[in-house]
Amino acid sequence: MNVRVAVNGYGVIGKRVADAVRDMPDMDLVGVADIATDWHVRTAAGLGIPVFAATEEARAAMGDAGVPVAGSLADLLSQVDVVVDTTPKKVAATNLELYRDAGVKAVLQGGESHATTGHSFVAQANYATAVGRDATRVVSCNTTGTVRVLGALQDAGLLARARGVLIRRATDPVESHQGGIMNTVVPEGSIPSHQGPDARTVRPELDVVTMAAKASHTQTHSHFWTLQLTRPASRGELLEALRAAPRIAFVRMADGVTALNTTVELMRDLGRPRGDMWEVAVWEDVLTVEGDEAYLTYQVDNEAIATPETIDAIRALAGTVTDGATSIAMTDEILGMRREFLPAPASAPMD
Amino acid sequence: MNVRVAVNGYGVIGKRVADAVRDMPDMDLVGVADIATDWHVRTAAGLGIPVFAATEEARAAMGDAGVPVAGSLADLLSQVDVVVDTTPKKVAATNLELYRDAGVKAVLQGGESHATTGHSFVAQANYATAVGRDATRVVSCNTTGTVRVLGALQDAGLLARARGVLIRRATDPVESHQGGIMNTVVPEGSIPSHQGPDARTVRPELDVVTMAAKASHTQTHSHFWTLQLTRPASRGELLEALRAAPRIAFVRMADGVTALNTTVELMRDLGRPRGDMWEVAVWEDVLTVEGDEAYLTYQVDNEAIATPETIDAIRALAGTVTDGATSIAMTDEILGMRREFLPAPASAPMD
Amino acid sequence: MNVRVAVNGYGVIGKRVADAVRDMPDMDLVGVADIATDWHVRTAAGLGIPVFAATEEARAAMGDAGVPVAGSLADLLSQVDVVVDTTPKKVAATNLELYRDAGVKAVLQGGESHATTGHSFVAQANYATAVGRDATRVVSCNTTGTVRVLGALQDAGLLARARGVLIRRATDPVESHQGGIMNTVVPEGSIPSHQGPDARTVRPELDVVTMAAKASHTQTHSHFWTLQLTRPASRGELLEALRAAPRIAFVRMADGVTALNTTVELMRDLGRPRGDMWEVAVWEDVLTVEGDEAYLTYQVDNEAIATPETIDAIRALAGTVTDGATSIAMTDEILGMRREFLPAPASAPMD
Amino acid sequence: MNVRVAVNGYGVIGKRVADAVRDMPDMDLVGVADIATDWHVRTAAGLGIPVFAATEEARAAMGDAGVPVAGSLADLLSQVDVVVDTTPKKVAATNLELYRDAGVKAVLQGGESHATTGHSFVAQANYATAVGRDATRVVSCNTTGTVRVLGALQDAGLLARARGVLIRRATDPVESHQGGIMNTVVPEGSIPSHQGPDARTVRPELDVVTMAAKASHTQTHSHFWTLQLTRPASRGELLEALRAAPRIAFVRMADGVTALNTTVELMRDLGRPRGDMWEVAVWEDVLTVEGDEAYLTYQVDNEAIATPETIDAIRALAGTVTDGATSIAMTDEILGMRREFLPAPASAPMD
């Protein structure tokens, strides 16, 4: 029997999760809940997704706005096994009580603190520990990317210490007519920024410190890492370690993929829904190793990277798939995730 | 028998045309030609599109880069009925001779001058005059939008004179890591800008003057029009005239569609390939009429708006469909073009 | 005896007014009042300007932050003849009562409605009617630019009707790390935008309609006008009319002044304080006349354009100079305003 | 007798150097040379600076454009002791021969390679070695900032190793209507980026590696450093080391100086010419030390930071001041350089 899923919060994350759930053969999207009445939820209705009102006020407002309402949040919860909460930061913590009372398992997002659920999730790192739990938190886009890449190097016994600078997009495209930054860089006021410690909620043994800043663009983050290796290593060893881990793809300056916007365009050309890139895109030919130090840069699609993690988290909580690698493989095949975005050239470049 | 089509130039326009041709049941995409060897053409190869080398130098370079080459441009031309030339500005004029020698009909793009082919094309305005011709020019994105909207009002006998300000995107997203503008507005140095006169190559009776400027964004143009009507009219009359014409869709501030980025996001949510908006998006609730003057603003997706026009132009040149309305209806249905992007609310707003 | 002046609100406008007052030989800046405790007011203190606390809470907070406080707003008002209120939108309306009770004349800014003071001010248009009043409102940057340019053409008997598109900067540089817009254009949701009607508070006979939008830049507005003239005229006649009015300067594409950022740089090169451009910069070689229609574009430095108007308004209210032309000439000479920013070339271009 | 100075190239750097030379009591600006005929050189003429034609073609073009020409580059060189070459990248290398033939000492800029002159200059690092030389190269803005800050820490015996990420402005404001980047980040394609090795041309003993990227803004660079210290140290020790070196100023998030644009505005408020910040602005309250690692971020005004270095380089080459500290003190006092931009609060924050 399929896992019955609700999505509470039909925004940047919620709509992607809703679409991915609909794509999965072992899941049913029962509906989405929201409080808005504007084009977002009306689009959901247009796609045939039942829309539930997250509050009584929202129910009235949706009615006034002509949005067909399938019921209340309580109605929705009564019909599902797992709810994915993608409400704005800090709202989910309050909702969690509601979900527990309804006997519904809950996947929260990275905006919440680890303490809220006591478990933070990145599929390739700790799927097993989430199996059968009542709730988990899929970590933020930046932390997900960090755990995937640093985790791969640590699993290969190569990583001693990681010091990173995270250049974040300022706001999402859908919000970019308000609340953005212009012609500036805004550094975070304290070091370490929260992403480093946050990675340790999933992989406590990581020695990682991050600085962060917002730059004047709306699409995707980029991370710049200085890595202390456990020993002198070759570029080939690092690349092999990255290739051994899931959900990491390579891009190359030599192919003309030279900036964040190029990768974004490439995703559009590949026919990805909403142009989403679920993989971490590591610049293969920028990776540099000097003795026991390595320098690495990659791109994180903040809107999309947590989508496959959320799908896996649903399965883990539901307990329908107990093996992480199996769930990851299912998710990745159905979404169409890739290790290389371009067909291989006739002769592969040497490492 | 299907029309056999080639696309020469696999860039922002060419790749969209190639995909649309592949979607049409009455057309076959034989292949695309280009001179580049980077990720763009490798993506085409990855999608299973035969790639031809537009020049001998390109053929060698593609070979070196590992791009599988299906043949030369001459090879490609020998297998098609119609070629769509989407090479950079001014190259097509030279290519035209080549196409004529090969006995292949040609659709050029708006970067070329009207004189190159002697015929300029917007499907709803002058499909009939293109039927059976050797060549036509699909006009630019700005001109296409202008002809659709002003033409609709003129067809309804309402438009005496149009004075417009065109705020253009500075560069396309794929080129935005070079050649863009930052934190400024760049007005065109002469008035009228070329778009006004260009609209008259399709509808010579239009009384239209345009000023233009580039602003600091990469996605879509917006036009602001002051219209002198032939007589005092109501908002309802103007809206009715716009609804009577194809390829115009309405958006509304009241739905939260309040800026260019919102519409772009909406297209992504609707699952449009590459987020393309083929329609002109007129802000229905911003349209204002005072006596015999009207004020109108709409959004033009410069990357996508000419795609359906190009499809129609192929049919017109090939002569397989002689009626414009029939071709337009076919194109629009297969692409999934719409008059409204959102499901109607319970009660429609009053005009 | 010099006019004693206070500035309430030390922000983008207030700090410019404070500096200009300090430059004027017939005025004394007694102090500025504010509620902030951050670098803005500490900069004022560093420049030797007495800082007063606008509220009791502010006084305590300033003390805590180590800002030397010269007294309360009441203390400041007790020492001045005129207060310039540059507090955020809508605050001034409340303050006005306070000023009246203190017997202090008040200059408000364009964010307030005309009704607040019953008088709206642009020096060259209506200085005389402000002489001796208790209060006036210096109109907004956009409206000031509009009144200067359209007023000049109307004074010459040339202007019948003006239809404009105002492309506004999104936010000021000082606020651009928050609250900006990114990679988009945000059209105002209703037509006419407020600037057109607002110009009529100063020149009621203007037939003017405006559409407005915010674009993705932080510096200066640009206006694009379609003008219906009273009769066919020459470019020379229009230029002569503009030259006859004060506070309009010409820039030229032919000189390489081709975009908003170029003019901004030019002001920096001229040594202007903060790079301020107090003049409206009309693109002389873009101005186009066809029969009885004209097309015109100019640039408005939204941070600076109202500074000279405010200085004149102070004199008008104080009644120390009763002739507008005299006050304008004083202000302009001391600030160093210009009609041309570049030395004339050997031979002037023909009109 | 004053040092007679020429500036060849009146662009972003040249015009600043020209102004600074005019401010120095021990220098005379004989003139500037350029090849342009647009508003830039006409502004110089308007400021009373003699303009020379850098080439014969330029001389003719300047004449046609009405720019008063004082003579040829050879004429200019015949009247000076030192020329500052601020021509575009790679042009200076060719010019150097010309300068040597004319017996004129030359200061080149950071766009040239170290090999061109065999000496690279940062005043506080190696003034003495430049005294009496024929030529030196003032290093680039990024390298200047790096040498000032890392050098200060190294002089204090604190710095073992520095790994930095340099987020650069994409283009200068004056060029931002062309050639910019939009809504993206462009990482440099190879690591280390050139700035790290370049710092070693001035301080060979620095262990420094840099990654770099361009972000979507036009004003100032920001650097993010991970520092390996020689031993565990306190924040206070690092701050003391920075305070002991010249041309480093502190800014603080706690004062509301929270982003690049805030500092830019602060410079405008301080009345700096063109808003220039000659100091490196270190965020004092972001500096973090954990054991023997430190994390540091600062802002570099790429247009202005090399101006004082260039002034010192002129003196060093001319040999009129043989002690670096003396020259630095003269330059800094006349320009008005500062260690703190705000008056100190009543009680200083604790370290």
Q: What is the pLDDT of residues D4-28, one digit of tens each?
A: 999 999 999 999 999 999 999 999 9
Six-digit token string for B137: 């020019």
Is residue B158 one of the residues assigned to a domain? yes
Substitution target from B169, B182, B217, B264 for chain D, most D beta carbons within 10 A? B182
> Measured between alpha carbons, how far is B12 from B169 in angstroms, rounded to an integer?
14
pLDDT digits 0-9 by tens, C42-64: 999 999 999 999 999 999 999 99
Chain A residues with CB-CB distance to C173 below 8 A: 183
Residue of C nearest to A215 (CA): C177
pLDDT tier for residue C350 given thresholds of 50, 70 and 90: very low
Chain D residues with CB-CB distance to B169 below 8 A: none
Q: With H, G, I as helix, E, B as strand and everything else as coil, classify residue D268.
A: helix
pLDDT attached to residue C92: 87
In sequence order, what are the residues at sequence separation of 6 or more whose Cβ sits closer than 8 angstroms to the Cβ of residue A74? A102
In sequence order, what are the residues at sequence separation of 6 or more whose Cβ sits closer than 8 angstroms to the Cβ of residue B54? B8, B9, B33, B34, B35, B73, B87
C-alpha triplet B336, B337, B342: angle, nearest 5°: 100
Does A262 sit within 8 Å of B174, measured CB to CB? yes
3-state SS string for B224-290:
EEEEEECCCCCHHHHHHHHHCCCCEEEECHHHCCCCHHHHHHHHHHCCCHHHCCCCEEEECCCCEEE
Residue recorded with tokens 């130098």: B57
Does C259 sit within 8 Å of B192, measured CB to CB? no
User: What does the pLDDT average to over A84-95?
Assistant: 90
pLDDT digits 0-9 by tens, D149-206: 999 999 999 999 999 999 999 999 999 999 899 999 999 999 999 998 899 999 999 9
In sequence order, what are the residues at sequence separation of 6 or more whose Cβ sits closer than 8 angstroms to the Cβ of residue B136? B107, B108, B117, B119, B120, B121, B130, B313, B316, B317
Residues B37 and B91 occupy one common structural domain: yes
Number of domains in chain C: 2
Residue of D nearest to C270 (CA): D43
Residues A155 and A105 occupy one common structural domain: no
Six-digit token string for D271: 């009345």
Query: Nearest CB to A177: which of B173, B182, B258?
Result: B258
Does A65 sit within 8 Å of B270, measured CB to CB? no
Is residue A172 one of the residues assigned to a domain? yes
> Which of C300-309, D39-48, D72-81 comes out lowest in average pLDDT?
D39-48
Residues C79 and C154 occupy one common structural domain: no
Q: Where are the beta strands (DSSP E) in C13-85?
A: 27-34, 51-53, 71-72, 82-85
Is a pLDDT exceeding 60 seen at residue B350?
Answer: no
Give the amino acid at A84. Answer: V
Chain A residues with CB-CB distance to D183 below 8 A: 217-219, 261
Residues A76 and A190 occupy one common structural domain: no
Helix locations, chain B, DSSP H: 12-23, 39-46, 56-65, 73-77, 91-101, 114-117, 123-130, 141-155, 195-199, 235-243, 260-269, 306-318, 324-335
Element (H, E) at B132: none
Residue recorded with tokens 């931002």: D176
Q: Are strands D280-283 and D293-300 parallel, antiparallel or unpaired?
A: antiparallel
Cβ–Cβ under 8 Å, residues B332 and A52: no
Residues D130 and D149 occupy one common structural domain: no
Cβ–Cβ under 8 Å, residues C344 and C53: no
pLDDT attached to residue C349: 46
Among residues C279, C257, C274, which one has the least CA distance to residue C266? C257
Residues B175 and B57 occupy one common structural domain: no
pLDDT attached to residue D161: 98
Element (H, E) at D221: strand D221-229
Cβ of D12: how many Cβ atoms within 10 Å?
18
Whats the size of chain B, residue-wise? 351
Is residue C341 one of the residues assigned to a domain? no
Six-digit token string for A148: 């995937």
Cβ–Cβ under 8 Å, residues A85 and A134: no
Cβ of C136: how many Cβ atoms within 10 Å?
27
Residues C286 and C195 occupy one common structural domain: yes
Six-digit token string for A190: 């304290």
3-state SS string for A233-284:
CCHHHHHHHHHCCCCEEEECHHHCCCCHHHHHHHHHHCCCHHHCCCCEEEEC
pLDDT tier for residue D66 given thresholds of 50, 70 and 90: confident
pLDDT attached to residue B91: 87
Cβ–Cβ under 8 Å, residues A40 and B256: yes
Helix locations, C157-234, DSSP H: 195-199
Residue recorded with tokens 């239809």: C163
Does C261 sit within 8 Å of B184, measured CB to CB? yes
> Measured between alpha carbons, how far is A133 from A136 in angstroms, rounded to an integer?
7
Rounded to the nearest 10 degrees, what angle do helices C235-244 and C141-155 cross at? 120
Residues D199 and D248 occupy one common structural domain: yes
Query: Nearest CB to A184: which of D260, D286, D288?
Result: D260
Helix, strand, coil abundance in chain D, percent, nearest 5? 40, 25, 40
CA B56, chain centre distance (Å): 30
Residues D294 and D165 occupy one common structural domain: yes
Six-digit token string for C61: 């907070």
> Measured between alpha carbons, how far is B133 from B111 in angstroms, rounded to an integer?
20
CATH code of the domain covering residue C293: 3.30.360.10
* Active site members of C: 141
Does B183 sit within 8 Å of D181, measured CB to CB? no
Does B216 sit within 8 Å of C224, measured CB to CB? no
How far B346 CA sits from the closest chain A CA (Å)? 4
In sequence order, what are the residues at sequence separation of 6 or more whose Cβ sits closer than 8 angstroms to the Cβ of residue A209? A162, A163, A164, A191, A192, A196, D226, D290, D293, D295
Is a pLDDT exceeding 50 seen at residue C4?
Answer: yes
The single residue of A36, A141, A170, A318 carrying the catalytic annotation is A141
Residue recorded with tokens 């975009």: C259
How far A244 CA sits from the closest chain D CA (Å)? 24
Cβ–Cβ under 8 Å, residues D314 and D84: yes
pLDDT attached to residue C6: 98
Chain C residues with CB-CB distance to D17 below 8 A: none
Is B67's Cβ below 8 Å from some Cβ in A? yes
Cβ–Cβ under 8 Å, residues D176 and D273: no
Query: Nearest CB to A345: which of B43, B66, B258?
Result: B66
Residues A121 and A219 occupy one common structural domain: no
The single residue of D35, D122, D141, D260 carrying the catalytic annotation is D141
Cβ of B293: how many Cβ atoms within 10 Å?
18
Whats the size of chain D, residue-wise? 351
What is the maximum span of chain D, computed from C-alpha positions, in angstroms? 66
Residues B192 and B279 occupy one common structural domain: yes
Is residue B340 one of the residues assigned to a domain? no
Catalytic residue status for B91: no
On the CB side of D136, CA atoms within 13 Å amount to 30
How far A220 CA sits from the closest chain B CA (Å)? 14
Instruction: Indicate the pTM of the whole model.
Output: 0.97
Chain A residues with CB-CB distance to C176 below 8 A: 181-184
Q: What percent of chain B has pLDDT over 90?
A: 92
pLDDT attached to residue B304: 98
pLDDT digits 0-9 by tens, A27-73: 999 999 999 998 999 999 999 999 999 999 999 999 998 899 999 99
Does C217 sit within 8 Å of B209, measured CB to CB? no
Q: Which residues pair with C225 in a beta bridge?
A: C164, C296
How far B38 CA sits from the closest chain A CA (Å)? 5
pLDDT attached to residue B87: 95
What is the phi/psi pair of residue D85, to 5°?
-95, 115
Cβ–Cβ under 8 Å, residues B37 and A317: no
In sequence order, what are the residues at sequence separation of 6 or more whose Cβ sits closer than 8 angstroms to the Cβ of residue C194? none
CATH code of the domain covering residue D124: 3.40.50.720
Is A222's Cβ below 8 Å from some Cβ in D? yes
Chain B residues with CB-CB distance to C209 below 8 A: 226, 290, 293, 295
Cβ–Cβ under 8 Å, residues A312 and A328: yes
For the four alpha carbons of C244, C250, C254 and C258, in that order, the dihedral sign comes to negative
Is a pLDDT exceeding 50 seen at residue A348?
Answer: no
Q: ipTM > 0.90? A: yes
Residues C128 and C199 occupy one common structural domain: no
DSSP secondary structure code for residue B35 in this structure: S
> Measured between alpha carbons, how far is D223 from D31 in angstroms, rounded to an integer?
35
Query: Nearest CB to C347: which of D39, D42, D66?
Result: D66
Query: Nearest CB to A43: which of B38, B176, B269?
Result: B269
Chain A residues with CB-CB distance to C182 below 8 A: 170-171, 176, 180-182, 216-218
Is a pLDDT exceeding 80 seen at residue A13?
Answer: yes
Residue recorded with tokens 């309802």: B236
Is residue A16 one of the residues assigned to a domain? yes
Cβ–Cβ under 8 Å, residues B104 and B6: yes
Is residue D232 one of the residues assigned to a domain? yes
User: What does the pLDDT average to over C75-102?
Assistant: 94
DSSP secondary structure code for residue C72 in this structure: E
pLDDT attached to residue D349: 46
On the CB side of C317, CA atoms within 13 Å amount to 29
Query: Nearest CB to B274: which of A39, A268, A347?
Result: A268
pLDDT digits 0-9 by tens, B226-285: 999 999 999 999 999 999 999 999 999 999 999 999 999 999 999 999 999 999 999 999
Six-digit token string for B107: 């659709």
Is D344's Cβ below 8 Å from some Cβ in B? no
pLDDT tier for residue D345 given thresholds of 50, 70 and 90: low
Is residue B343 one of the residues assigned to a domain? no
Range(s) of the domain holding residue C186: 141-300
Whats the size of chain C, residue-wise? 351
Whats the size of chain A, residue-wise? 351
Q: With H, G, I as helix, E, B as strand and everything else as coil, classify residue D351.
A: coil
> Measured between alpha carbons, how far is B271 from A38 in angstroms, rounded to an integer?
18
Among residues C280, C301, C313, which one has the least CA distance to residue C126? C313
Chain B residues with CB-CB distance to D176 below 8 A: 181-184
pLDDT digits 0-9 by tens, A239-264: 999 999 999 999 999 999 999 999 99
Is C302's Cβ below 8 Å from some Cβ in B? no
Q: Are strands C293-300 and C221-229 parallel, antiparallel or unpaired?
A: antiparallel
Six-digit token string for D87: 């021509």
Is residue A11 one of the residues assigned to a domain? yes
> Measured between alpha carbons, how far is B32 from C77 in angstroms, rounded to an integer?
76
Per the rule left: phi > 0, alpha: psi between -120 and 50, beta: everything else, A290 is beta
Is a pLDDT exceeding 70 seen at residue B138?
Answer: yes
CB-count exposure of residue A54 (10 Å: 0-12, 13-18, 19+): buried
CA C265, chain centre distance (Å): 19
pLDDT tier for residue C89 given thresholds of 50, 70 and 90: confident
